[in-house]
A = this chain, B = another copy of it.
Amino acid sequence: MHAKEMLQVRPNDLSDVDAEVLAECIEACFACAQACTACADACLSEDAVAELTHCIRTDLDCADLCEAVGRMLSRRTAYDVNVDDAFLEACASVCGACAEACATHAGTHEHCRICAEACERCERACRRLIDVRRVVA
């Protein structure tokens, strides 16, 4: 992933944001989207798929929303901090819900364990980015 590198070479000043924290959040969003997509599919291939439908649904939501937020955070032209924060809060919340759903099956399915970790990392990264911004503002 080139998130940090791309932030460093872009024309606009980033003095209002911690590039390290922002890059970690972007990469966590993309990694979480991939893990959730793979976990939903792995669940679909389990014999016990009927017990995993809640997990699959949350995985699909989490993948879509992390991807949209990861893209939005990759954009810095004329950005609107209020819009960003509303989505970071919502993204942290869907990651938390997905981590919880996956954690229920983490003992039985390795893919749920790994996916729960990816969701927790993304939730932390979103909350960290909100906190860092508040200090600056």
A interface residue numbers (CB < 8 A to B) = 1-3, 5-7, 9-12, 26-27, 30-31, 33-35, 37-42, 44-47, 49-50, 53-54, 56-58, 60-61, 63-65, 67-68, 70-72, 74-80, 82-83, 86-87, 89-90, 93-94, 97, 109-111, 114-115, 118
Contact = CB atoms under 8 A, between A and B. Distances in A.
B87 A60 contact: no
Contacts of A78: 53-54, 57-58
Nearest to A95: B83
Given A54-B77, A72-B64, A31 B2 contact: yes
A23 to B, nearest CB: 10
B64 A5 contact: no
A3 B68 CA distance: 19
A94 B87 contact: yes
Contacts of A1: 1, 30-31, 34
B114 A6 contact: yes
Contacts of A56: 44, 77
B57 A79 contact: yes
Given A6-B111, A71-B63, A77 B34 contact: no
B83 A94 contact: yes
